[in-house]
Structure 1
Amino acid sequence: MADVLIFAPAPLLTVTLEGDHPGGDLHVHSGGQGIWQARMLRTLGRSVAIVGSFTGESGRVVHHLLADEGIEVHPLQRKGRGPAYVHDRRTGHRTVVAELRGDPLSRHELDELYAAVLREAMACRLVILSGPADEGILPDDVYRRLAADLRAEGLPVIVDLSGARLEAALDGGVALAKVSDAELREALEIRGDSLDEIVAAGRRMRDAGARSVVVTRAREPLVLIDGEHAYLVRVPRMQEVDADGAGDSLLAAVVSALAEDQPLTEAIALGAAAGALNVTRHGLGTGDPEAIHRLRARVTIEEIGEDDAEAFTLDQLAARAEVDDR
């Protein structure tokens, strides 16, 4: 029995060239949003299971790589072309050499995958619904159906989605939704970067079906909407090496804390620390657990008021949440 189940519909095979010496180094890993989330959850001591489709030669390689990392895999194995990419980072920046889209799921394959998610979710405490890297792998409405069916079984559903997939999941109902301000801007939910706009967009997401909402803002403090309350979450700035995967690390750390029944504000503080530290590393979804927990103590949370912001310690916020739940 795993602590967390992750729906990762189409994991990636990632090939990365690195190094400043002649020829460089070649790194082959499993990847994709759900995989990076699983990696951080494992770093923080949680047991993780993944349900996903593993397609063709690249899918077989990804399956073996995940097993080597100690991640429980419930695969839908199928023929065809699996998603993959080749990136060159020998200059210090990511250069795309090749990116391959995976084949879409057939109706029969989708039915099998859906059933596997429901079956394995019954043995877990929380479920993350992650998205594929490319459009067209599966219909967006799958996220609505999964969110609704899992919620009906009393399972907390956490999503890190955008666009039509996010709208579908919200329609099904989720415990926590994470989105970036850039994704909100792309969806025309906000036009600029004002705090008022972002809080209003987060509250619309809450009203659309999310109990709580986290909005990340790159190097700016993230925003948490929890019921009627809105908070700014600040973390010390780190020197950035690679920002890719920071949001996945953040969400995974939040879920790790929720799996221990920690209050949401405590979980968000851990997530903010994990996301901040991830940008200092080359590996996506990786981190040092001791460093994450130490940085967590430096995270501050302030309630956003209409006229000013009132600062609270995490203990005060936890006590306030207990009063609100009565």
Structure 2
Amino acid sequence: MADVVVFAPSPLLTVTLEDEAGSADIHVHAGGQGVWQARMLRTLGRDVAICAALIGETGRAVRHLLEDEGIEVHAVERAGHGAAYVHDRRAGQREPVAELPGDALTRHDLDELYAVVLREAMNARVVLLSGPATDGVLPDDVYRRLAADLAAAGIPVVADLAGTRLAAALAGGVHVAKVSQDELVDAGAVTGTSVPELVAAARRLRQAGAHNVVVTRSDRPALLVEAGSTHAVRVPAMEEVDVRGAGDSFTAALVAALADGEPLHDAVRIGVAAGALNVTRHGLGTGDAEAIRRLREHVELVPLDDDEAEMVTLDELASRTEVDRP
């Protein structure tokens, strides 16, 4: 029985053409935000279940691929067209060959999927709400309802969402909201990416329904905003191979630690370590569990008081050496 449940409404089938010593090679995987997060959770030793809608031939393939990775699958299945893509990376950069958004979920699909999530969540330690592969798959209000119902049952919810989906989940109430600075910019929540602006935006997210907020900032220190405290989270910079999936690895590792009963600060540390190491690899949501745990020891939480959160610059933050280790 899984101790982490991932709501991944529409996983996708990924087909990638690679160059292997001058010859073409084809890699076929299950993908999408929730899948990449579940993969990292498995890497860190958690028992994971994905609740999803699996549609058509691609959906059947996704089920088998997930189960081969040791991930429980609880799905609503029906005929139709599931989400998928074919990318060509033989020249070193991803070139889309074909991308299919997949069918939107019907009201009947949503009713069934909602029941599946609630059923599996009742025995989980943490539930992770992730986004669909494409827009238009399901209404945002599903996230509000899930967050509210799970919170009422006393189950911690972590939301890794953006824009209107995040707003919906916050209206239901979540334990942790993770959002990137780029997502805040895209949503119009901030006009710049200075520390004061991002801290102010995170505090507004707390007022909207998140107990705690983490703002990731690519290769710059993440920000953790809690009730009455703000921290910058620093990790040694890694040489980048592929930045995609770093945020999902961060969230997955954070959830893994929370499911193991670790305090939030320790959970954030291992999340930052997982995200930092993910950029050194081609595989999304992949990593070495022991390397992640060792890098966590080099992650620093730098406390910012209210005045500092309003005034600190990036250069000043980079020069800080004080470390908070609860």
Query: Normalising by structure 2, what TM-score?
Result: 0.95
* 2:322 match: secondary structure: strand
In structure 2, the residue matched to 1:244 is 244
Map of 1:84 onto structure 2: 84
CA distance in 1, matches of 2:221, 2:93: 25
Partner residue of 1:36?
36
| Deviation of the 1:20 alpha carbon | 5.0
1:313 aligns with 2:324: yes
Give distance in 2, aligned partners of 1:233 and 1:123: 32
Contact 1:223–1:230, Cα closer than 8 Å, also in 2 = yes
Does the CA contact (< 8 Å) of 1:147 and 1:173 recur in 2?
A: yes
* Secondary structure of the structure 2 residue equivalent to 1:81: coil
Matches within 5 A, 1:7-26: 7-26=7-26
Which amino acid is 1:287 matched to? G
The gaps in structure 2 that reach 5 residues or longer are: 313-319
- TM-score (normalizing by structure 1): 0.95
Residue 313 (structure 1) shift: 3.4
Confirm or deny that 1:181 pairs with 2:181.
Answer: yes
SS of 1:311 mapped into structure 2: coil
Q: Structure 1 CA distance, aligned partners of 2:202 and 2:321? A: 19
Residue aligning to 2:52: 52
Query: 2:79 & 2:296 partners in 1: Cα distance?
Result: 44
Deviation at 1:310, TM superposition (A): 7.9
User: What is the letter of the counterpart of residue 149 of structure 2?
Assistant: D
SS in 2 for 1:193: coil
Superposed counterparts of 1:112-191, under 5 Å: 112-191=112-191
Q: How many percent of aligned residue pairs carry the same amino acid?
A: 61
In 1, the alpha carbon distance for the partners of 2:102 and 2:267 equals 34
Q: Which amino acid aligns with 1:183?
A: E
Q: 2:315: which partner in 1?
A: none
**Partner amino acid, structure 2, of 1:43:** T
- 2:231 aligns with 231
Q: Which amino acid in 2 is paired with 1:257?
A: A
| Residue type at the aligned position of 2:323 | F
| Displacement after TM superposition at 1:236 (Å) | 0.5
Q: Any gaps of 5 or more consecutive residues in structure 1?
A: 319-326
State the SS of the aligned residue for 1:290. Answer: helix
Alignment partners' CA distance in 1, 2:93 and 2:291? 25
Question: 1:96: how far off?
Answer: 1.5
Size of the aligned set, in residue pairs, is 315
Alpha-carbon separation, structure 2, partners of 1:67 and 1:157: 24
Q: Is the 8 A contact 2:303 2:324 kept in 1?
A: no
Deviations 1:100-155 (A, max 9, x none): 01101111111000011001101111100111021110000000000000000000
Q: Distance in 2 between matches of 1:186 and 1:168?
A: 17
Question: Aligned AA for 1:225?
Answer: V
